[in-house]
Amino acid sequence: MKATRCGWRLYLFVALGLLLVSMLLAGCGRPATVNAQIRRNLSNVYAGEGSPDSLPLLSDDDWHELRDMSLITTDADGEGWLQINQCMLVYIFQNSGLVKAACPKSDLASGNVTCALEGTSAYNNDCSDKIVIQTLSAEVVLEGTWISITYLPEQQVTILSVFEGHATARPVRNAELRTMGEAIEIPTRHFWFSEPGITADPIAGLAAREPHPFDQLPLLIEKLHLESWVERLRVRAADDNVPFPDFATPAETPSPTPTVPPTPTRTATPTPRPVIRFWADPTSITAGERTTLRWQIENVRGAFLSGGNIKERAAPGPSGSLGVSPAATTTYTLRVILLSGRQETHTARVTVKPRTNFPPKVTITTPDKDAEYWYDGYDQQRQLWYTDVTLTGSASDPEDGVLKDPSLVWTTNLTDIQKALLGAGRKVTVRLYSNVCEGVRHTITLTAADSDGNRRTDSRGIFIRTIC
């Protein structure tokens, strides 16, 4: 890869619960330019200009150019790759992000700097300039190396792991004044950690600000719960052909052991076979109906569901389901990441048949909505006021056509003063009663039924009254 003569500056900061990275270029006395591209490796990755919650989703695996002030974020399942000037690749892991900006003049003399405030990133560097990575508790200088930097803001702990090459680390003694301690070189397959202050406390029995061999790193991983980040680092290191240690069990403090006879060679435990099933239940529905996507996944790293209106989302195992109602025939995809890192896709097709039995459409023509009528008289036998009202309406059905009078039924809701049934037909004159001089409100409903028993209704409010 061609190395750049002028460097860049990356700042990681926390906002809205996301890990954000600000990339700045040291201009070297001329207009600053950085050739930066982002692509998704695992969904979901968002990139563009705007606020973190309004960024567009990267819908493909292509490289995308970054403009100044562009923002990149990933969710709990996402991973993005940032490529800078064709000589440096930064792996941005889960719940992380990056924003590209211009370099402040006050930082031009300090070279290539990265400031990390939370999370884990891996740096595969092949640039000619020295790269400086800063956190609130340490400063790391690397040149032509493969390392990871983890910063935990709650503990203010920085962890440097050198997988290939070497790096120089300096602790921060005073975070406000940014005064630094003595530099120490960290060789290959060693790690180092620190926190701000004149001194730093040990963690998991390991002394701070001293290089430790990788066989003691599991103590720190277990104590600080870094297992998920370690797994992502393992995959990325394998892709770059970088040796990665086995962190399966925590290391113990070395102690003298007696000589014992050689133990028989053990046969390596075979990798368990993956179990992957993905199907729709049922596979065929009528428009408007629902089906259920079901999956069973075992002995895999993860699975992601997409298709139709579903943006790619995690499909947790070992089994799960999701109800869907596609408007048209749709193929859903389950993308599975195997333990080896290889990916497989499994599909489930849902056939959607057009609906052939539609309900009727019902319309009340008169009276108008919320119409008012005066009383026509008083029924002495019932001791109720009344008003005679003409009701008109219609109904049609895609299969039956215009529905006939017996299929149209009129009712009122005031069943405490009269019967609910008012009559049947497209046009009826009905008598509405009131037991209050000031008036009452009837809700009139027209119900229509087609030959298959499908029913629909339309309603109107009618107020009848007099002056008392």
DSSP codes, 7-47: -EEEEEEEETTEEEEEEEE--TTS-----EEEEEEES-EEE
Residue 364's pLDDT is what? 97
Please give the C-alpha separations between residue 33 and each of 7, 9, 28, in angstroms, as whole numbers.
Answer: 9, 11, 10
State both tokens at 384: 């109720």
Residue 433's pLDDT is what? 97
Instruction: Give the pLDDT of the chain (468 residues) as one tens digit per residue.
Output: 323 333 333 433 332 223 333 333 333 333 334 467 888 877 778 777 766 667 788 888 788 887 766 677 777 677 777 777 667 777 776 655 444 433 333 333 333 444 454 566 777 777 666 677 888 888 888 766 888 888 887 888 999 999 888 889 999 988 777 788 899 999 989 999 999 888 889 998 999 999 999 999 999 888 888 887 888 888 888 877 888 887 654 444 445 555 656 655 556 567 788 999 999 999 999 888 899 999 999 999 899 999 999 999 999 888 999 999 999 999 999 999 998 888 999 999 999 998 888 889 999 999 999 999 999 999 999 999 999 999 999 999 988 899 999 999 999 999 999 999 999 999 999 999 999 999 999 999 999 999 888 899 999 999 999 987
Question: b or e along 175-204 (b: 16 or more beta carbons within 10 Å of the residue's beta carbon)?
Answer: eeeeeebeeeebeebbbbbbbbbeebeebb
CB-count burial class (<10 Å; 0-12, 13-18, 19+) for 119? buried
State both tokens at 341: 């890192």
Where would I find the beta strands (DSSP E) of 153-199? 157-164, 167-174, 179-180, 184-186, 190-194
Residue listed under structure tokens 């790293």: 301
Q: Any residues with CB less than 8 A from the CB of 407 and at least 6 apart, and which? A: 395, 448, 449, 450
Residue 124's pLDDT is what? 74
Please give the C-alpha separations between residue 14 and each of 97, 102, 119, 152, in angstroms, as whole numbers.
Answer: 9, 19, 10, 11
pTM over 0.85: no
Residue 308's pLDDT is what? 93
Residue 396's pLDDT is what? 94
Tell me which amino acid residue 86 is. Answer: Q
Residue 95's pLDDT is what? 58
| Alpha-helical runs (H) found in 137-288 | 217-224, 227-239
338-346: long-range contacts at Cβ-Cβ below 8 A with a sequence spacing of 24 or more? 338/274, 338/300, 338/301, 339/271, 339/272, 339/274, 339/299, 339/300, 339/301, 340/271, 341/235, 341/238, 341/239, 341/301, 344/276, 346/276, 346/278
Q: Any residues with CB less than 8 A from the CB of 16 and at least 6 apart, and which? A: 52, 53
Residue 3's pLDDT is what? 34
Helices 227-239 and 217-224 pack at an angle, to 10 degrees, of 130
- Residue among 393, 397, 394 at smallest CA distance from 454: 397
User: What are residue 21's DSSP bridge partners?
Assistant: 12
The values of phi and psi at residue 224, to 5°, are: -105, 5
- Residue among 69, 94, 90, 71 at smallest CA distance from 81: 90
Where would I find the beta strands (DSSP E) of 242-299? 275-281, 284-286, 291-298
**What is the Cα–Cα distance from 422 to 418, expressed in whole angstroms?**
9
Side-chain-facing half-sphere of 63: CA atoms under 13 Å: 10
For the chain, which domains are there?
36-240 (2.60.120.1440), 275-353 (2.60.40.2470), 361-465 (2.60.40.10)
Task: Check the CA dihedral 86-101-172-224 and report its sign.
Answer: negative
